[in-house]
Amino acid sequence: MIFNRLIAPIMISMDNDKHVSKIWELNSESVILNLEDGVLDKNRALDNLKKFLMLPRIDNRILIVRTNPIFEGGLEEILILNNLKPNAFRIPKIRNLNEIYTVLSITEKNSIEIHLSIETREAWTQLQNLKIDQRITTFYLGILDLVADLNLNSNIINPNNSTIRYILTHFLVTTRAIGVLPVAPVFQEYKNIELFESWLKLEKELGFTAKGSISPTQSKRIRETFKISNDEVEKAREIIKIFEKLIEDRNNNIFVETIKHEKYGFIDEPIYKLAKQILKNIEENLN
């Protein structure tokens, strides 16, 4: 599934001819082809998107179509674009399960993933119940819209605010628990590098591995931040080697209760599983 490769999807407004012409030049593993917020000429955007998806694909970049809300043109967009096979449709402003069932019923079943934007109070309160199909793989947190829909003051939107940290943490843990990739919010003030770095540091500490972007500079910095370091890879390989030797010894009736590594401390089965997952993630990102 493509969600294992998502790190820094970059948003492109499909009514901007200049930006559309440079999509294949972007240094990002994924691109969100945007028809919704920020798109002034919806008809031009859809026409550009149809033409773009009909062109031969230059590489294996992930192409995600961000539709309009399903009852504000989104359903029609999906029906028009289905046969052009984007990798995923990202559906904004979902409010109930019936909307998701409707999307699933008209979407290409074998090759197109469904991504959901979590930006309404209804989606927030049903977060743990939204994965109703295996094609639903990724949630994006639309924090500006969510805060507004919850009637919270927009002044709370800063990385040091306790409520915002709770929202990020709840979104991350709940989404991971149901087997979906959580994507951290896009940072709109692209000139405020210092604040962007503060958000990125917090999201990394919380455990996010992907974040939306609106510029090549943001995308590059996100990928640098979320990239698994060489030290982490070395540690994972060493832990796997040691623990699998322990399993081998036990199979040969050589009982060793536990292992304490000089550098990495105690190594048990949960630590071993985490190490295996790190290497699995790396392998999937390369494919």
| pLDDT tens digits for range 78-120 | 999 999 999 999 999 999 999 999 999 998 777 899 999 999 9
How confident is the model at residue 6, as a pLDDT?
A: 84
DSSP secondary structure code for residue 190 in this structure: T
DSSP secondary structure code for residue 211 in this structure: B
How confident is the model at residue 174, as a pLDDT?
A: 97
Query: Can you say how many angstroms the Cα of residue 278 is from the centroid of all Cα atoms in its chain?
Result: 17
Q: b vs e for 232-259, b when ≥16 Cβ sit within 10 Å of the residue's Cβ?
A: eeebbeebbebbeebeeeeeeeeeeeeb
How confident is the model at residue 85, as a pLDDT?
A: 92
Query: Which residues lie below 8 Å from residue 97, measured CB to CB, with a gap of 6+?
Result: 126, 129, 130, 132
Q: b vs e for 49-83, b when ≥16 Cβ sit within 10 Å of the residue's Cβ?
A: beebbeeeeeeeebbbbbbbbbeeebbebbeebee
- Alpha-carbon distance of 152 to 157, in angstroms, equals 10
- Which tens digits make up the pLDDT trace of 135-154? 999 999 999 999 999 999 99
Among 121, 143, 131, which Cα is nearest to 174's? 131
Residues lower than pLDDT 50 in the chain: 286-287
- Alpha-carbon distance of 78 to 101, in angstroms, equals 14
Strand 10-13 and strand 113-118: the pairing is unpaired
Query: Which residues lie below 8 Å from residue 93, measured CB to CB, with a gap of 6+?
Result: 69, 117, 119, 120, 123, 145
Indicate the domain borders of the chain: 2-226, 230-286
How confident is the model at residue 58, as a pLDDT?
A: 87
Record the tokens describing residue 91, joined without a space.
């559906």
Residue 162 burial (C-beta neighbours within 10 Å; 0-12, 13-18, 19+): exposed
Record the tokens describing residue 229, joined without a space.
């370091």
What does CATH list as the number for 2-226? 3.20.20.60
How confident is the model at residue 133, as a pLDDT?
A: 95
How confident is the model at residue 138, as a pLDDT?
A: 96
Helix or strand holding residue 34 (H, E):
strand 30-34
Nearest 5 degrees, angle CA 247-CA 252-CA 254?
Answer: 80
Summary mean pLDDT of the chain: 88
How confident is the model at residue 284, as a pLDDT?
A: 57
Q: Please name every residue paired with 183 in a beta bridge, in sequence order, or none if there are none.
A: 140
